[in-house]
């Protein structure tokens, strides 16, 4: 064999590394949307409207009525690691808001056309800014990139257009817009159930009606009804579980033994962030296995608050995975609570049919 000299090692171009990093955080339109929803909720919004075109690949727009963004912060809004939610590393240990790394908007600006219109309470007008690759960008070449004063209400509107326009391999990986839209509806539905006091709407561009619409004053069960229907909402029972030693508080609504479907629906929020947990899903399914016919599964909405010092939210850039201390004990405690609730409903039912 021919021995050749090793190729020299070179640093990747910043633009390339930024796009790679962005692609790790945002794999599908729904991931961008989740970040935007969390930002809007962090901003204290009570109304959140989502508009979607072509499954979010053409357009994702989210309008909130939160506190808005200061005009002077707009130039650095989309730089990586700029955030109003974290000041020191120690703050990571006690962070209570959803976002914490200031990476979402930066990432989106590297792989989509991003524009922001925002107005704070004290500002006399709204400002509109466009971003490309983390920086302010002009609407047309040659124009100024400075934020423009425009008319607008208090709050923020984020518009994401042509997601993955500069990552053709990723763009081509999407088979159907309706599949992506369903993922978006699923995510909006989750937050709509979870966010007490926040009205949600989600709409396909060009369609008159909304696919999701909840009011800010509705109860949790009403929100479950609006999103998942009466067959679920009529059969849910509330549960609560807490333990100081393990530093957690859990509560939620779960279907009784009357209800069963082919697939478990688990709405899981840990410290108010929608996450996935195979361990929790499996434990809930096994709890129900003695109550439901074979192959039957429940609907469970579980919100878990864990002492921030015991949660490692920083494990994965996508933040979909959350690890916490005493996971087994906490899951056991929650499932025991659910088991007792199910058994109680069961006996009360037997009672009424016997008399």
98 or 291: CB nearest Mg ion: 98
34 or 183: CB nearest ligand ADP: 34
Residue 66, interface with Mg ion (CB under 5 A)? no
Contacting residue, 65, 83, 115, 271, with ligand ADP by CB under 6 A? 83
**Residue 353 contacts by C-beta under 8 Å, 6 or more apart in sequence?**
none
Distance CA 331, CA 34 (A): 25
Contacting residue, 19, 49, 100, 129, with ligand ADP by CB under 6 A? 100
**Residue 300 contacts by C-beta under 8 Å, 6 or more apart in sequence?**
252, 253, 254, 255, 264, 265, 266, 267, 284, 338
E-strand ranges in 2-55 read 47-53
Residue 49, interface with ligand ADP (CB under 6 A)? no
Distance CA 50, CA 48 (A): 7
104 or 334: CB nearest Mg ion: 104
Distance CA 164, CA 43 (A): 27
Dihedral of alpha carbons 21, 117, 158, 190, sign: positive
Residue 256, interface with Mg ion (CB under 5 A)? no
Tokens of 268: 């899981």
- Binding segment for Mg ion (CB under 5 A), chosen from 55-63, 102-110, 229-237, 313-321, is 102-110
Distance CA 232, CA 193 (A): 13
**Position of minimal CB gap to ligand ADP:** 99
Distance CA 112, CA 32 (A): 10
Partners of residue 252 on adjacent β-strands: 239, 302
**Site track for Mg ion across 23-52, x = CB under 5 A:** ----------------x-------------
63 or 300: CB nearest Mg ion: 63
Contacting residue, 22, 25, 60, 104, with ligand ADP by CB under 6 A? 104
- Binding segment for ligand ADP (CB under 6 A), chosen from 32-40, 87-95, 264-272, 274-282, is 32-40
Distance CA 169, CA 232 (A): 40
Residue 54, interface with ligand ADP (CB under 6 A)? no
Min dist CB 97 to ligand ADP, Å, is 7
Which residues of the shown chain bind ligand ADP in the complex (CB under 6 A)?
35, 39-40, 43, 64, 66-69, 77, 83-85, 99-106, 156
């Amino acid at each position: 064999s021919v021995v050749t000299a090793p190729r020299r090692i070179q640093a990747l171009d910043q633009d390339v590394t930024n796009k790679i990093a962005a692609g790790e955080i945002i794999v599908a339109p729904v991931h961008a949307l989740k970040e935007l929803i969390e930002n809007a909720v962090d901003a204290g919004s009570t109304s959140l409207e989502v508009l979607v075109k072509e499954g979010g690949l053409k357009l994702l727009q989210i309008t909130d009525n939160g506190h808005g963004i200061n005009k002077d912060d707009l130039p650095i809004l989309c730089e990586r690691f700029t955030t109003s939610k974290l000041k020191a590393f120690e703050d990571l240990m006690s962070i209570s808001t959803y976002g914490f790394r200031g990476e979402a908007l930066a990432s989106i600006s590297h792989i989509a056309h991003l524009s922001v219109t925002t107005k704070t309470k004290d500002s006399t007008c709204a400002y509109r800014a466009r971003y490309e690759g983390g920086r302010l960008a002009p609407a047309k070449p040659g124009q100024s990139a400075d934020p423009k004063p425009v008319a607008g209400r208090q709050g923020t509107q984020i518009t994401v257009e042509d997601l993955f326009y500069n990552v053709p391999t990723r763009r081509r990986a999407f088979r159907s817009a309706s599949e992506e839209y369903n993922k978006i509806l699923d995510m909006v539905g989750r937050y709509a159930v979870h966010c007490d006091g926040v009205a949600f709407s989600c709409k396909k561009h060009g369609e008159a009606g909304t696919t999701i619409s909840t009011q800010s004053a509705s109860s949790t069960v009403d929100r479950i009804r609006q999103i998942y229907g009466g067959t679920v909402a009529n059969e849910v029972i509330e549960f609560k579980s807490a333990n100081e030693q393990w530093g957690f508080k859990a509560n939620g609504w779960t279907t009784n033994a009357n209800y069963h479907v082919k697939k478990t629906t688990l709405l899981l929020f840990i410290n108010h962030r929608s996450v996935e947990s195979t361990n929790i899903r499996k434990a809930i399914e096994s709890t129900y296995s003695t109550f439901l016919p074979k192959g039957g599964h429940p609907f469970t909405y579980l919100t878990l608050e864990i002492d921030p010092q015991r949660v490692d939210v920083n494990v994965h850039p996508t933040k979909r995975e959350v690890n916490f201390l005493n996971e087994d004990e906490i899951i056991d405690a929650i499932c025991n609570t659910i088991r007792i609730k199910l058994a109680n409903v069961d006996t009360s039912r037997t009672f009424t049919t016997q008399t």
